[in-house]
Amino acid sequence: MSIFLLQIEQVSLTTPEFFLGTIAMILLAVGLILFIIFHQRRVMRFQQHIQQLEVKHQKMLLKAAIKLQEEERKRLAADLHDDAGPLLATAKLYLNENFMNLEKTAQLQALFSSKQIIDDTIQLIRNISHSLMPPTLKNFGLGSAINDFFQKISNSGTLNANVKFHDYKVRLKAENELILFRVIQELVNNILKHSEASFIHLTEHDVENKVVIRLHHDGNGLTQEEFLRFTKEKSGLGLKNIQSRVRVLHGEIMYEKDASQSLYKVTLEIPRDEKGDEV
């Protein structure tokens, strides 16, 4: 009898503990489920935020591309208006209503002068066309176009400029090559105007499906911090154009001193999202 009472007593002692343990397990399970639900919601909100940022980024790139195109159109319109317009207007003067009343010799002179002006206009338009898409770039690719550009700089005697393309076997898309060529032109023009360098050296490598361009020079240069600061100022239009063009290419640009601390370098990394023709 005493043994039976002892067993009943033990059961009565363990039952509340078992009940509390069960409640604790249930609460723990509910807490875990709520944690998972809230975590999933947080992940979903984070993903939505990332998608919104990506959309915003794409809009910024599109806006930058449109702005660059508009600037190119304005420059083209200005060149045609300021240069081609007056030439054609002058040719028109030689061939006005009074032309048929002129003597034969005066007519021949007017025709000759008009022909010279028209030839000059054709050459001007050809030069404008070449500036929009250099023939060497179109026909032979980025390496040849940059090599020609640097050769002209060296031939001017201003400074020593040389190029070395190592891995450029497959071309970027034509429009991307043109944008990258414009970026390099702008970088070199900045070096010529502001750095007082005695040489510029450009190299190209393909690294992990990226085209990597490096410009070294021994003049005064920028650090990345200075570059980013200048792009936020009103006077930094040239640097803003560089930054916008690089963004359109989904690339990156880095200004820094090299390991020797005696040279400045600019590194461009452009992804090969879509390949063009073989060089």
**Which CATH number belongs to the domain containing residue 168 in this structure?**
3.30.565.10
Q: Which of 101-105, 148-152, 201-205, 242-246 has the lowest mean pLDDT?
A: 101-105
Q: What percent of the chain has pLDDT over 90?
A: 23
- Is the model more confident about 234 or about 162? 162
Cα–Cα distance, 41 to 54 (Å, whole number): 20
Examine the pLDDT at 137 and tell me if it is beyond 80: yes
Residue 176 near residue 230, CB atoms below 8 Å = no
**Same structural domain for residues 125 and 153?**
no
Q: How many CB atoms lie under 10 A from the CB of residue 142?
A: 24
Indicate if 171 and 122 belong to the same structural domain: no
**237 and 105, same domain (yes or no):** no
pLDDT at residue 120, as a whole number:
86
- Find the domain containing 64 and state its range: 1-132
Task: Give 40-48's long-range contacts (Cβ < 8 A, gap of 24+).
Answer: none
Q: How many CA atoms lie within 13 A of 153 on its CB side?
A: 23
Q: How far apart are CA 172 and CA 186, in angstroms?
A: 19
Question: Which of 84, 117, 132 is the C-terminal boundary of a domain?
Answer: 132
Note the pLDDT of residue 57.
Answer: 64
Nearest CA to 162 among 217, 207, 205? 217
Residue 160 structure tokens: 């020593």
Is residue 3 over pLDDT 70?
no
What is the average per-residue pLDDT within 90-112?
82
Per-residue confidence (pLDDT) for residue 64, from 0 to 100 = 64
| Domain shared by 164 and 90, yes or no | no
Could you give the C-alpha distances from 43 to 9, 32, 38, 80, in angstroms and in order?
51, 16, 9, 55
Express as a percent the part of the chain with pLDDT over 70. 82
pLDDT exceeds 70 at position 4: no
Rank 18-32, 72-86, 116-130, 139-153 by mean pLDDT and report only the highest.
Answer: 139-153
Q: In what order do the strands lie in the sheet with 252-257?
A: 160-165, 199-207, 210-217, 264-271, 252-257
Q: Which residues pair with 55 in a beta bridge?
A: none
What is the total count of domains within the chain?
A: 2
In angstroms, rounded to a whole number, what is the distance separating the alpha carbons of residues 126 and 220? 36
**pLDDT for 113 beyond 60:** yes
Query: Tens of pLDDT along 198-238?
Result: 999 999 999 888 999 999 999 999 999 999 888 888 667 77
3-state DSSP assignment of residue 195: coil
Mean pLDDT across the stretch 254-264? 89
Distance CA 230, CA 134 (A): 30
Q: How confident is the model at residue 266 (pLDDT cuts 50, 70, 90)?
A: very high
Q: Are 278 and 169 in contact (CB under 8 A)?
A: yes
Mean pLDDT rounded to a whole number for the chain = 81
Q: State whether 140 and 237 are in the same domain.
A: yes
**Residues 141 and 197 both lie in one domain:** yes
pLDDT of residue 13: 46
Same domain assignment for residues 99 and 214? no
Average pLDDT over residues 117-143: 81
| Same domain for 162 and 238 | yes
* Domain end (from 132, 165, 180): 132
Give pLDDT, residue 275: 56
Q: Do 3 and 116 lie in a common domain?
A: yes
Nearest CA among 258, 250, 175, 257 for reference residue 209: 250
Distance CA 200, CA 215 (A): 7
Residues 123 and 12 placed together within one structural domain of the fold: yes
Examine the domain organization and report whether 140 and 229 are in the same domain: yes
**Does 169 share its domain with 246?**
yes
What pLDDT, on the 0 to 100 scale, is given for residue 142? 93
pLDDT of 8: 46
Q: Residue range 119-135: average pLDDT?
A: 77
Distance (Å, whole) CA 224 – CA 257: 10
Residue that is last in its domain, among 101, 132, 163: 132
Could you read off the pLDDT of 38-95 as tens digits, one per residue? 888 888 888 888 877 776 766 665 566 556 666 776 777 777 777 777 788 888 877 8
